[in-house]
């Protein structure tokens, strides 16, 4: 069985942890499932915010989030969305793409520093807008419910996808030893 030693800390206070590769794969899979679920919710909270702003409907009249939100990609590319559907779709998926790129650090390319700074600032604005949509979605739970939902969803979509990739990559690296 292949194992990996991972050091944490500095100097004499270093601690070694030995984990088999499958532990990294399991952790990566769990983080990936959480990320995909949170992404589905986040896409729909953003879309819902725009749709309720257009229609004037209450958030409580909305459908529950579900994984079919990912089929919208095909509906969009094959012309299956109406104009009323395209606007919330572009907002939601644009914000999600910015969140992913910003979370992995793609806003800082090696060239075009001014463009990178503009992209980074735009991503931050989109993340705030997205958080407002999440905040609005949780309005029926009061202030602390909104804080908890918005914060948890942000962490789940901003960190868990990247953590999933890192865990699987670490598992592969351990297997190659």
10-51, pLDDT tens digit by residue?
A: 544 444 557 899 999 999 999 999 999 999 988 888 888 887
**E strand or H helix at 119:** helix 113-137
Burial of residue 28, with CB atoms counted within 10 A of its CB: 0-12 exposed, 13-18 middle, 19 or more buried = buried
**What is d(CA 24, CA 22) in angstroms, rounded to the nearest whole number?**
5
pLDDT digits (tens, 9 = 90+) for 140-154: 899 999 999 999 999
When the pLDDT of each residue in the chain is averaged and rounded to a whole number, the result is 81
Calpha distance 74→67 (Å, rounded) = 14
Q: Could you give the CA distance from residue 77 to residue 172 in angstroms, rounded to a whole number?
A: 35
3-state secondary structure of 172: helix
- Quick one: pLDDT at residue 30? 97
Largest separation between any pair of C-alpha atoms in the chain: 63
Question: Cα–Cα distance between 164 and 168 in angstroms, integer?
Answer: 6
Residue 114: per-residue pLDDT: 75
pLDDT bracket for residue 111 (50, 70, 90)? low
Q: How far is CA 103 from the centre of its chain?
A: 8
Q: Please state the φ and ψ torsions of residue 15, each to the nearest 5 degrees.
A: -125, 135
Q: Rounded to an integer, what distance in angstroms lies between the CA atom of residue 31 and that of residue 68?
A: 20
How far is Cα 66 from Cα 62, in angstroms, rounded to an integer?
A: 12
DSSP assignments along 11-75, one per residue: GGG-EEEEE-HHHHHHHHHHHHHHHHHHHHHHHHHHHHHHHHHHH---GGGSPPP-GGGGGHHHH
- Can you tell me whether residue 5 is helix, strand or coil? strand
């Amino acid at each position: 069985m292949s194992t990996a030693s991972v050091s944490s800390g500095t100097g004499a206070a270093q601690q070694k942890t030995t984990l088999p590769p499958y532990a990294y794969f399991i952790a990566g899979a769990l983080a990936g499932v959480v990320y995909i679920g949170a992404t589905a919710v986040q896409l729909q909270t953003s879309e819902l915010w725009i749709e309720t702003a257009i229609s004037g409907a209450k958030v409580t009249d909305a459908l529950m989030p579900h994984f079919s939100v990912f089929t919208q990609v095909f509906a969009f590319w094959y012309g299956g969305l109406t104009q009323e559907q395209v606007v919330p779709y572009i907002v939601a998926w644009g914000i999600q793409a910015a969140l992913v790129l910003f979370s992995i650090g793609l806003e800082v390319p090696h060239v075009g520093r001014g463009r990178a700074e503009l992209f980074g600032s735009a991503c931050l604005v989109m993340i705030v807008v997205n958080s407002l949509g999440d905040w609005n979605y949780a309005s029926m739970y009061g202030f602390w419910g909104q804080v908890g939902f918005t914060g948890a969803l942000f962490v789940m979509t901003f960190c868990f996808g990247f953590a999933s990739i890192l865990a699987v990559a670490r598992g592969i690296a351990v297997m190659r030893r």
